[in-house]
Structure 1
């Protein structure tokens, strides 16, 4: 059987530590051993070279053998249970040659990996863990903030593990780390508050921290044990993402040595599926932990992550309470629904205090309002143009505005905190925060976290405190502060709508009053003018009649007679027009004093009045069926019926007898709401493209020479129908006839 190692030797030539394949090193830490089997055949396909230090076999003796032949019946039962329950990872305790081992089993692709570590249980460990847990639970109840909780957990972990330094390490959104809590031996320099660049823990390492919650290095000076396979197994690499013995990156080992660390324990703190932080334990000599203590450390870490939301809510409660008080103060102000009230609202200091801002600005219909510390109006407009371009869902909330918009220069640097809310495409609300000038203490220069030399990449050697002065950021906006801005925005939108509605009502009121005044004046002018015109027209007609009756006396020639006749007819038409105008205006000024009108009686009256005209024109007026009662003014409704009848007579077809039908159109689509009275004739008709034009005053479809009329009749009818809360329409067909419909609201 030909045997080979699967050591990944490419790591020494890395150009970027983010390319390091740390999950497939082909090496393990030597304080335990590793065996891998084919999941289906249960044949050992990988074995660590140091197995002879723990078992009675060499690695080359067991490769290709069945696993139960090597580890016995107890192990076979453990494997069967692991496979039947489809577990991802399991730790059990087995004894081999009187030595207790913590055996961790997990699946890696098509393989099952077994890692065994000697399990040395310290004296009275169980009692110490129990007492420590009781003290921790008691201290947890006495803490309010997340920081206090983290400090209590760090203290408890140091008590049960004995590490020289225990830190709670918290990540920011860019995965730069901060020592959030720390417990240490007195002679050690403090790391509390120090920051570490994101390059200290590259992305692939963070990914493994999410998969594998606990990692231990018992001796930083360990010599890694190689993993071997046989050629026929076809195993080239072995994914050790979930391994407890996986050999760590050489770069990380050098990093720890540069810090002077001899052993470490790291526990992942996962919150909402993301790496929130780490429990990082350092010891300055060799140190190993029992499996029970490791489990306790993981449990203590869980105390932190399980309380993150609760503690943050506790910390933010006072912020939210204060913010809501300011919003309530603003929303309960006694304000009139007038534009001037905006100034009163925006000048209340609560407007920027509600989110702990430095200042506030708003732009409403082009006017900028400001309060507190804000940019100039010119700069506010410049900033808002940028924010409209970069907004998402109508908002921009940032504490690093200068970094995102370097083109604005000093304009952005003065107010790096922006809380921007669009109201529409032009109006907005905006809160500002001035820069928080702070000194960030880094453990070494973050720009030199990874150095490159002839040998390849290496971590920084100096961890001397490096202070960075930050000026282009503000305090971050907390969720309760953002919520308060949203709450005020919703209140303000309602308030602004009320102002606009009130302004519209006032505009309508003024417009209505102006229209009434203008209409009244026009009616007076029209009435006076019409009456003043009547007298000279009567005199013109009288003089024309006199001259035509006594032509000899006035020496009227034939030419003069024709001209006098035309003048008389023109005066007559003018009198008719003035009469129609007066009737049209009367329809507007008549007081609403509606009464029930029986259309049957009214049409019989009209039929008698038109008897001679109908006989002369050889026309037939037919009233079909029973017509309904309507509500209105009888003399106006009469005009509304007479005008279509007169039009039918005027526009009769020269080649056939005129027939006018009047009936209640109960099959019409609007007959459920209106009484639809149709007046239908078989005259010359009209094209339907003109069915709106015929209702406009002075509008005519035919020339005066062909058909007499003033063009007021149907416009008069439209006005009457509107006055009766109904309407009128017309349909025609050239050379076939026309139908005029009157829609009266139904009488209950």
Structure 2
């Protein structure tokens, strides 16, 4: 049989550690044997050392059903696959004269992995494991804080496993690892407090740590055992993501060798779906743990993970109670009389609310500061930047990572907590935290974590772990959830206060405007009175005296003087007509007028009677279809149709008998698209058409403006108020009037009145 080695040897072509396919190494660690079955139970892959367990070389196993090779093992594997999480419960098996622990489970590529791990005599018995687990309860009770508890857990894991060093890593948001606690033998140097860069554990390795909570390397100097498959098979690789025996990245192995480590055990600490940290166990020589020991150590990791959340919640609650007390004090103070900005500096709890070193309020464009804050010009620039798309809230403990000009305000504002209070250009608040300088002790220079060898062209990890100190600038202490939550609640209450102040100011402004409007209306009423009463008398006298002078037989007047007096009389008549029209226009807006059921047919009959002589004289005709009865002010309806019919007769075509037609139809809800009308109710559509001189299309909106005249006043008498009166009457009755026309082709007016209007 032609065999194919699927070991991955592509390291020289890697761009960086993050691109290494560590889930498909194509090899295993040598302390066990691996088989991979397809869905029919046929062996498609096997490790090169399979003779150790089965007494047959790979060529004698591949392409054969496992049941033919070892019927007992095949039956046990099938039984295990029927249980949930089969890999967590290995079963014993004897093969090749040795005792094995067998782990079986499905792989992502559809294969079934069967791993046989050689049993060793445990260094501790079951009773000791139980006692160590029981002691954990005592550790919880005696530990004052999380770090002390981590130290006790590290010591417990060391006792269970026998490793020389047990460290508990805690990751920061960028996955740089800090040795948070440590337990070690006496004669090795401490690593406690050191930091390791995130490049030591690349992203794909972190994914596997989330997937597999425990990972063991019994001897870092092992020779990988290749995985083989039939040369004519279609399988190029085997996914070993969940394999216990999976071979480790050569880069990581070299990293451990450079540290002087001989064996490792790693336990993941996962909190709310995120890798919080690791329990990392190191030994200077080879060390093999049986499954029970590893499970006991893993149980310590589970215990610790549960306590991390409990301790964090307890710590957060302690901060919450302090913050909540300050919040309630501020909320009570907001309810007191007086505007908030004037009392800003008296709010002693404002900085304590978020443990800030300074706070700045932008209220109606004015700045108010407290504590350590940037200068006013830079403060305004920061507010302006935050207003440009940073949302309702913006929180950071490293402003320099976001704000281009952060270097100028680092001392006062390395951290900011920003809340909008409405229009961000006018109302917002920022809490500040000053710069918190600290020194990080790295285990080696983080900038030289991985290099490429000029000889082999392969990536190699750093060989030096000498302490490298880095001064961290531009950061503040982290904002806690309880602080940001309290700030958001206070900002919400403050925003309500700001809006309340605005509404009060608007109310005062509206009250003042209303007073001015009442005064203006009273003055306008006086002007109307003067216009409609006091002006009529002088106009009448002008007309009377002009008539007397023109009709006097005692004085002989020249023709030019008679012409001038005639113009005076004409102007006085137009002025009198204007006064009458202004009076009519003002009366159409009288709210005291009562709306009563009005038969529009009777109104049209009165209009026809009024224009009877003029119609006869011009040979004109006015026709009307039946009209409805509507709630209206009768004299206003009479004036509306009088003005429309009068205009039709006034603007008749020369030499053509005027014709006026009035009809009515019902406009059902939703059948019209006109402003000011309610589309959900029906309207009467009353149309008045004539065959007169019409008007240009661009004039159809302006003809309803007061004093707007379409035609020369010498040719057509009038004041330009008639159609404005029609518009006001239609609106007084809950409707509108529209106009359409074409020059030389007549005009058409449509009056919409509510069809179901109630008194």
CA shift in 2, pair 1:567/1:29, >3 Å: closer
The yes-or-no answer on 1:359 pairing with 2:353 is: no
2:505 to 494, 503, 506: 503
Which residue in the other structure is 1:699 paired with?
A: 708
Find the residue that maps to 1:554 and give its secondary structure.
coil
Which residue in the other structure is 2:720 paired with?
A: 711
CA distance in 1 between counterparts of 2:194 and 2:142 reads 26
Deviations for 1:188-243, whole angstroms, at most 9, x for unmatched residues? 54433321112222334334333433222233444555556675568776554433
Find the residue that maps to 2:340 and give its secondary structure.
helix
Which runs of structure 2 are paired with 1:298-377 in the superposition (5 Å)? 298-306=298-306, 309-334=309-334, 340-344=339-343, 348-377=347-376
Q: Is the 8 A contact 2:122 2:293 kept in 1?
A: no
CA shift in 2, pair 1:32/1:583, >3 Å: closer
Which residue in the other structure is 2:414 paired with?
A: 416
Which runs of structure 2 are paired with 1:504-583 in the superposition (5 Å)? 504-525=506-527, 527-528=529-530, 533-551=535-553, 553-583=554-584
Q: Is the 8 A contact 2:396 2:415 kept in 1?
A: yes
Q: Is the 8 A contact 1:675 1:746 kept in 2?
A: no
Q: Is the 8 A contact 1:403 1:472 kept in 2?
A: no
Which residue in the other structure is 1:479 paired with?
A: 481
Alpha-carbon deviation of 1:712?
Answer: 1.8
Alpha-carbon deviation of 1:255?
Answer: 3.5
Which residue in the other structure is 1:206 paired with?
A: 206
CA shift in 2, pair 1:606/1:467, >3 Å: same
Deviations for 1:25-76, whole angstroms, at most 9, x for unmatched residues? 5554333344556665734754334x56x44747477464747488632112
Which residue in the other structure is 1:276 paired with?
A: 276
2:399 to 398, 401, 409: 401
2:751 to 722, 728, 741: 741
CA shift in 2, pair 1:613/1:684, >3 Å: closer
Which residue in the other structure is 1:467 paired with?
A: 469
CA shift in 2, pair 1:346/1:584, >3 Å: farther
CA shift in 2, pair 1:623/1:67, >3 Å: closer
Find the residue that maps to 2:91 and give its secondary structure.
strand
CA shift in 2, pair 1:19/1:8, >3 Å: same
Q: Is the 8 A contact 1:337 1:495 kept in 2?
A: no
Find the residue that maps to 1:556 and give its secondary structure.
coil
| TM-score, length-scaled by structure 1 | 0.84
The yes-or-no answer on 1:630 pairing with 2:646 is: no
CA distance in 2 between counterparts of 1:443 and 1:67 reads 51
2:688 to 657, 668, 680: 680
The yes-or-no answer on 1:431 pairing with 2:431 is: yes
Which residue in the other structure is 1:133 paired with?
A: 133
Q: Is the 8 A contact 1:417 1:432 kept in 2?
A: yes
CA shift in 2, pair 1:531/1:158, >3 Å: same
Alpha-carbon deviation of 1:698?
Answer: 1.2
CA distance in 2 between counterparts of 1:88 and 1:484 reads 47
Find the residue that maps to 1:157 and give its secondary structure.
helix
Find the residue that maps to 1:561 and give its secondary structure.
helix
Deviations for 1:266-322, whole angstroms, at most 9, x for unmatched residues? 122334544332121223444221112212322332334456555433332333444
Q: Is the 8 A contact 1:145 1:314 kept in 2?
A: no
Which residue in the other structure is 2:672 paired with?
A: none
Alpha-carbon deviation of 1:704?
Answer: 1.7
CA shift in 2, pair 1:719/1:113, >3 Å: closer
Which range moved further: 450-459 or 177-186?
Answer: 450-459
Q: Is the 8 A contact 1:269 1:279 kept in 2?
A: yes
CA distance in 2 between counterparts of 1:740 and 1:60 reads 98
CA distance in 1 between counterparts of 2:256 and 2:85 reads 34
Q: Is the 8 A contact 2:215 2:266 kept in 1?
A: yes
Find the residue that maps to 1:703 and give its secondary structure.
coil
Q: Is the 8 A contact 1:144 1:314 kept in 2?
A: no
CA distance in 2 between counterparts of 1:221 and 1:92 reads 28
Which runs of structure 2 are paired with 1:585-596 in the superposition (5 Å)? 585-587=586-588, 592=592, 594=594, 596=596
Find the residue that maps to 1:415 and give its secondary structure.
coil
Alpha-carbon deviation of 1:117?
Answer: 2.4
Alpha-carbon deviation of 1:555?
Answer: 1.7
CA shift in 2, pair 1:493/1:346, >3 Å: farther
Q: Is the 8 A contact 1:219 1:285 kept in 2?
A: yes
Which range moved further: 716-725 or 510-519?
Answer: 716-725
Q: Is the 8 A contact 1:145 1:315 kept in 2?
A: no
Deviations for 1:693-717, whole angstroms, at most 9, x for unmatched residues? 2322111122222221111223234
Q: Is the 8 A contact 2:358 2:370 kept in 1?
A: yes
Deviations for 1:360-391, whole angstroms, at most 9, x for unmatched residues? 234345333333321112112333444456x5
CA distance in 1 between counterparts of 2:197 and 2:539 reads 103
CA shift in 2, pair 1:710/1:27, >3 Å: closer
Q: Is the 8 A contact 2:668 2:681 kept in 1?
A: no
Q: Is the 8 A contact 2:63 2:230 kept in 1?
A: no
CA shift in 2, pair 1:88/1:454, >3 Å: farther
Which range moved further: 158-167 or 700-709?
Answer: 158-167
Pairwise CA RMSD: 4.2
Which residue in the other structure is 2:673 paired with?
A: none
Alpha-carbon deviation of 1:729?
Answer: 4.1
Q: Is the 8 A contact 1:683 1:738 kept in 2?
A: no
CA shift in 2, pair 1:712/1:234, >3 Å: closer
Alpha-carbon deviation of 1:417?
Answer: 0.8
CA distance in 2 between counterparts of 1:257 and 1:668 reads 89
CA distance in 1 between counterparts of 2:57 and 2:629 reads 110
The yes-or-no answer on 1:288 pairing with 2:299 is: no
Say how many residue pairs are matched.
741
CA distance in 2 between counterparts of 1:526 and 1:675 reads 34
Q: Is the 8 A contact 2:598 2:630 kept in 1?
A: yes
CA distance in 1 between counterparts of 2:26 and 2:689 reads 103
CA distance in 1 between counterparts of 2:668 and 2:114 reads 88
The yes-or-no answer on 1:177 pairing with 2:177 is: yes
Q: Is the 8 A contact 1:627 1:663 kept in 2?
A: no
CA distance in 1 between counterparts of 2:683 and 2:231 reads 99
CA distance in 2 between counterparts of 1:8 and 1:241 reads 14
The yes-or-no answer on 1:75 pairing with 2:85 is: no
CA shift in 2, pair 1:737/1:147, >3 Å: same
Find the residue that maps to 1:409 and give its secondary structure.
helix
Find the residue that maps to 1:718 and give its secondary structure.
helix
Q: Is the 8 A contact 2:264 2:283 kept in 1?
A: yes
Q: Is the 8 A contact 2:46 2:58 kept in 1?
A: no
CA shift in 2, pair 1:678/1:415, >3 Å: same
CA shift in 2, pair 1:690/1:325, >3 Å: farther
Q: Is the 8 A contact 1:47 1:59 kept in 2?
A: no
Alpha-carbon deviation of 1:12?
Answer: 7.6
Alpha-carbon deviation of 1:94?
Answer: 0.5
Q: Is the 8 A contact 1:11 1:21 kept in 2?
A: no
